[in-house]
Structure formats: C-alpha cells, structure tokens
Amino acid sequence: MAETATQWTMTAPNAPFVRRDLPALAPGADEVVVAVAGCGVCHTDLGYLYDGVRTNHPLPLTLGHEISGRVIAAGAGAARWLGQAVIVPAVLPCGTCDLCRRGLATICRSQKMPGNDIDGGFATHIRVPGRGLCAVDPARLEAAGLTLADVSVVADAVTTPFQAVRRAGVGPGSLAIVIGIGGVGGYAAQIAHAFGAAVVAIDIDADKLAQIGRHGAALTLNAREMDARAQKAAIAEFATANGLRRTEWFIFECSGSAAGQSAAWSLLVPGATLSVVGFTMDRIELRLSNLMAFDARALGNWGCPPELYPAALDLVLDGKVQLKPFVEQHPLDDINAIFAAAHAHELKRRAILVPAA
C-alpha cells in the first residue's frame, strides 16, 4: 500500500482546488483502495465548481467520478479484487435494498457517487465500496491500443449514454438524434450507431461535428446555422431519403444546456422517445401537452447500473466505440488550469487527469 495519498479538494465554489496529502488509505470491510490511473473531467464536475450545483457531501470534498485504476488494498469480503485493474462505477448502488433487488439500482437511496457522496478520483488513491467494480482485462486493453487511464471515461461518459440508448430501445432501422456531441454526446452517437441506428448529430461546434461525422453520424447539423424548424425539416428529409421512419425518433439531449433542451423538445414527432442525458441548472418553458399529442415519452437517465458496465466496455475494447480521438491526458497537478480551460470551452477533447507516476 502507498505510504501517502494525495487529493485535490474543492473547498468552495469558484475557488481553486487545494492539494491535501494524507496518510495511506485503509479499506474497511467490503471496501477497496484503488490507485488511480486516470479520472475524467465531466460537465457535472464543472457544475459543482462553477455553477452552484451542490454536492451531497458538504465541502471540502474531492471531486471526480470517472475513475480507473488498480486495486492495491482490500478489506474483508473484497479480497477477490486485489491486484485487479478496474473501472469504478460513477454511481455505486447498495445492492441490497428493495429498489436494487427490483432492478432499480439507479434510484437506490443508499447509492454512493464518488465526488458527490464520497471523496472522488482527482487523487492518487480512492477508497470505495468493493461491490460493482468493472474488471478490465489488460491484454484486451493493450490489443485495443488503450491505457488504463484512457478507459476512465467509460465510468460515465460511455456507460451513461449506453444505458440511455439501451433503455430507449434503439435498434437497427432506428433514427437517433444526438444534441450536443462533446463528451457524453459523442459517445451517445457512437453507441447508437453500434446499436444499428442512423445517427443525426447536432451541435454548435463545426470541428466536433466533422469529427463525429467520421465516427458514426450519418448527418451533422450546425445549430448556429439553422433554427429548430429547419433542423426538423432537414432530419425529416434525411429520413425519407434513407428509407427511415418519420415517426418514433429517438432524441438524446446531451448538451446540458437550455438551448439544447428546447431544441430536443421541438424535435418530438409521433411516437418519439426523448432521453435527457445532459444536466443544466437552467430552466426552460415548454408545452407538456406535446407528449400527449405525439403519444411520445420522456426519460431521465441517472448513471448506469454496474452490471451493464462490462457490455459497454466491450464496445470500446472491440473498437465499436472509439475513445482516443475524443480524450487527452493531463497531469493531475494541473487540475486548476485544466478546469479553467474546460470552463472556458478551450478544450477540444475530454480531459483525463493522471496522477504522477
């Protein structure tokens, strides 16, 4: 076990992270200590630091919930994980309550989210419950040309849209529309494509649209250049030209913005499914009766059950979902500069913070 652990801790909104050196973490019963290989910077983390989103655990708190690493210590009941490379689920349900037993783990009232309920992964080490970890095969990782740090983003940016696409019922012949294709949305587009859908990607960043056009999107639309009515008309024309239905569209709102949510609502068609994947504190005004008139449905998406992680990871390791073009690694010690750059929309790829060797 390492002699010390280092955390970069949030002490107050809009304040720099503070480095804190601690004695070695010791696991309790059914817990493990993971030496962090990498931790992705998520839109949710930016919300905590800059936008007034409150963490469940009072500050100070170490943020970060997209975590991969290696188990270096295990308590009683968790010894089987010792030495294994793992991805830590972004939401860890208790596994024993009535909700968990009924297959509703994402709304478990005793769930633990690193960087929200407990200290997270912007650290050299993290202590987490041993249940629900996702094992990573080093041989398959190497064959895919990935590092353990790279797959940290599977913990949220890949698995959350995986659950959303799966829950919505996307399949061959579907038309899937992804609004906001930076981060989570880029993976939502790839996953929907892997599930057999024709994918339409909508964003305001021409470079991101060009990139996702090379990785699964059959049609890309720049929301800076066309309003919601024009977008809907273009998608309908695309559907007709490609033998797709003009009903039952699958709409995934991943931008986490008021503009994106309004656009998503405007794209409802008969039988549509609207999946809200991104988060914003902003409010929008809408006519809820559209759900009734279109016989449509709206779904929320919070995390992903740990038992679905292996299937999502398989898409990555099999090359059906690409990570490398969408991520870049940075030293953990640069956390304050990286958060500032992410907040200013200066990063073109999802940042993964990597502790010094």
Query: Could you tell me the two tokens for 335?
Result: 């956390």
Give me the torsion for CA of 9, 12, 13, 15, rounded to 10°: -70
Q: How confident is the model at residue 3 (pLDDT cuts 50, 70, 90)?
A: low
Last residue of some domain: 300, 315, 345? 300
pLDDT in tens, 301-320: 999 999 999 999 999 999 99
In this structure, are 184 and 230 located in the same domain? yes
Clarify whether residues 141 and 72 are in a common domain.
yes
Whether residue 1 has pLDDT greater than 70:
no
Q: How many domains does the chain have?
A: 2
Residues 130, 41, single domain; the answer is yes
Mean pLDDT estimate for the chain:
96
Residue 141 belongs to a domain with what CATH number? 3.90.180.10
Q: Write down the pLDDT at residue 294.
A: 98
- Inter-residue contact 198 to 176 (CB < 8 Å): yes
Q: Can you give the pLDDT at residue 357?
A: 79
Q: Do 129 and 167 have their domain in common?
A: no
* pLDDT at residue 264 greater than cutoff 70: yes
Strand order in the sheet with 297-300: 217-222, 198-203, 175-179, 250-253, 273-276, 297-300
Range of the domain at 293: 159-300
The yes-or-no verdict on residue 183 having pLDDT over 90 is: no
Question: Is 305 in contact with 163 (CB distance < 8 Å)?
Answer: yes
Report pLDDT for 2. 53
Do residue 31 and residue 167 come from a single domain?
A: no
C-alpha 184/C-alpha 256 separation (Å) is 10
CATH number at residue 188: 3.40.50.720
Domain-terminating residue out of 284, 300, 316: 300
Both 110 and 181 in a single domain? no
One domain for residues 137 and 110: yes
Shared domain check, 337 and 310: yes
Q: How many CA atoms lie within 13 A of 4 on its CB side?
A: 6
Q: What is the pLDDT of residues 77-92, one digit of tens each?
A: 999 999 999 999 999 9
| Mean pLDDT of the 212-218 span | 97
Which band of pLDDT confidence, cut at 50, 70 and 90, is reported for residue 326? very high
Same domain, residue pair 178 and 142: no
Assign 182 a pLDDT band (cuts: 50, 70, 90). confident
- CA separation (Å) from 264 to 198, 271, 275? 17, 14, 9
Q: 16 pLDDT exceeds 80?
A: yes
Checking if the pLDDT of 239 tops 70, the result is yes
Q: Answer yes or no: do 93 and 53 share one domain.
A: yes
